[in-house]
Structure 1
């Protein structure tokens, strides 16, 4: 018992002596700024401090990415930074301010897709996205839809086989918030309308609910809720967090299958949408 306590004390003492690395401020391009992530610090290891919402200092636990190959990068401010059939466009928020985001094409419904062929075999996939919601996405509204359809209002990340068969990797869903009548996240505890994800999603998902809204928030991209960065995000364990962690998935086998990122909605952009301002997907053997 004494030896165990001594070992625990040594670990805590080491953490205190070593401490986190220097604080990293927000990453800005043009007029758009976002919170720094581990992807912005590829050589960082362990706890890193970053400036979060309202100037608060937050802690990230980063793993070096030297052995990770970046296959998808979303940056709407750079030429071709959206990729696939996502488009970069300037959107107005409810205050009339302009923000450049990657979205589906005007008038489209269903999914807009980026598909990339990794340059080498991989087994592990990790990544993170952030964005903004428009109007009222529905989370997991239709449990009968398959992986090839727009089964989620959000982002679907999959492997695509040579026979065009998909294997689920991770899903980011966006649903109604407190005070609105509509589908909520599966982890929602204050509503009975909280449809569960499809069986193929399993526990590999994060769902964001934008906060209680009024009519001033609707029909605009909401600048006050940075999806998976602030507001409410939760996973299959039901825990709520303001900032969704970077996901990492073991696909179970080595593969060279293409990686696909799809931005999906079951209605057209006039009814609901998500605009992405950041996204990175990595693979590793």
Structure 2
């Protein structure tokens, strides 16, 4: 496509160069200069005919070319965004209005006395290139119109949005699809994972959160503190105890199941559910855990999953995970409003150390537990699955919490993946 456009532009410029000099001004040959022309008298006559035909509309043609290119780019962008044209399809990069140019060429009304072989060849080549160019340019559009008229537009495109990711046809690849909001009737572009095996399903999950700080193009959510070393992660920015939150929109799409994982690292001495143990009046809206609280809705928040970070695996008190076997029965208290919907882990398998970043043992990954812990098996981390009591369109809130300032207790997040269905 680029070579065709280049040939056309080169050919057309060969004609226009007869109208303008190298600086774009009208070419005037002083009579007193002895200029040896390399073109025939017939071509000279044709040149001035072309100039007189086009000079008055040059500004209009320039404006038309700019407008045309803008709308071509806008159209291609929209079509790709709506997944009607594939991302890797060739696009038209020409800035010329071929129809207008062809009409100008056809309107020259050349007389036989002004024709010669060179001009005829140039004009014929330009017209042939334009015809091939227009055919290639309209090929994809004709396919789109054909699909629209026959009702064969794929489910999940802008003109035929799917009710949800799980309604996409079997065998669909993971990627962006248009999903319709049943409440408003509007559609939004969503990423559908068609291979995710969460909750014993066979795919069709809509991704609402995707953070991967190992990718340099990803950045911490607004207001979170960025840690660059020894792991590129996101931590709390508040100087005292408390939570720092970010909200992930579901674009009004209804869901009843949530699936996901969070990967983080321990810093210093977080103590799991100790904050609730010492103050059992705390609610889901308070700091009830050192770790991550995942909820939906407001006033009150509704629990989805909790990710607790304990101090180590060797102590036998309320600072450790309930799934640590050094403490039987567990002397702490799991908040009743989270039930069994939690993971608990530690980055310190032995005695904890203050102000140490445990960068080699990620939290909630289902690996690395010692002989005194069954936390790597409890609820089968790293992926959680939560069946909600009823469908909802609530956005999902992630809160990173601790009952001490971040220089004493913290866990820092490296990856977040959350899907709904």
Shared fold by TM > 0.5?
yes
Offset, 1:147: 0.3
Who is 1:218 aligned against? 354
Return 5+ residue gaps in structure 1 as ranges: 1-40, 47-59, 92-97
Who is 1:160 aligned against? 297
Q: Secondary structure at the match of 1:112?
A: strand
Contact 1:171–1:204 (8 Å) recurs in 2? yes
Q: Secondary structure at the match of 2:228?
A: strand
Structure 2-normalised TM-score? 0.47
Count of aligned residue pairs for this structure pair: 217
Q: Deviations over 1:247-285 (max 9, x none)?
A: 11111111111111111101110111001111111111x
Distance in 1 separating the partners of 2:326 and 2:216: 41
The structure 2 residue matched to 1:189, chosen from 317, 325, 332, is 325
Contact 1:210–1:232 (8 Å) recurs in 2? no
Who is 1:273 aligned against? 410
Distance in 1 separating the partners of 2:200 and 2:360: 27
The structure 2 residue matched to 1:118, chosen from 245, 250, 259, is 250
Residues 175 and 79 (structure 1 numbering): CA distance in 2 closer, same or farther, change over 3 Å?
A: same
Structure with the greater alpha carbon radius of gyration? 2
1:102 paired to 2:234: yes
Contact 1:150–1:265 (8 Å) recurs in 2? yes
Contact 2:310–2:346 (8 Å) recurs in 1? yes
1:90 paired to 2:228: yes
Q: Deviations over 1:50-102 (max 9, x none)?
A: xxxxxxxxxx998554x2111122223445532243232213xxxxxx32101
For CA contacts below 8 A with separation 6 or more, give which structure has more relative contact order: 1
Contact 1:45–1:61 (8 Å) recurs in 2? no
Contact 1:138–1:176 (8 Å) recurs in 2? yes
User: Whose strand proportion is higher, 1 or 2?
Assistant: 1
Contact 2:256–2:391 (8 Å) recurs in 1? yes
Distance in 2 separating the partners of 1:195 and 1:283: 32
Residues 240 and 80 (structure 1 numbering): CA distance in 2 closer, same or farther, change over 3 Å?
A: closer
Structure 1-normalised TM-score? 0.67
Contact 2:265–2:347 (8 Å) recurs in 1? no
Offset, 1:195: 1.2
Offset, 1:228: 1.4
Distance in 2 separating the partners of 1:151 and 1:131: 18
Task: Note the 1:199-210 alignment, pairs <5 A.
Answer: 199-210=336-347
Contact 2:193–2:207 (8 Å) recurs in 1? no
Offset, 1:232: 2.7
Residues 116 and 212 (structure 1 numbering): CA distance in 2 closer, same or farther, change over 3 Å?
A: closer
Residues 158 and 239 (structure 1 numbering): CA distance in 2 closer, same or farther, change over 3 Å?
A: same
The structure 1 residue matched to 2:387, chosen from 250, 254, 261, is 250
Q: Deviations over 1:164-223 (max 9, x none)?
A: 3200111010112233475111122213664131110101011113343356x5312112
Who is 1:176 aligned against? 311
Distance in 1 separating the partners of 2:208 and 2:240: 25
User: Whose helix proportion is higher, 1 or 2?
Assistant: 2
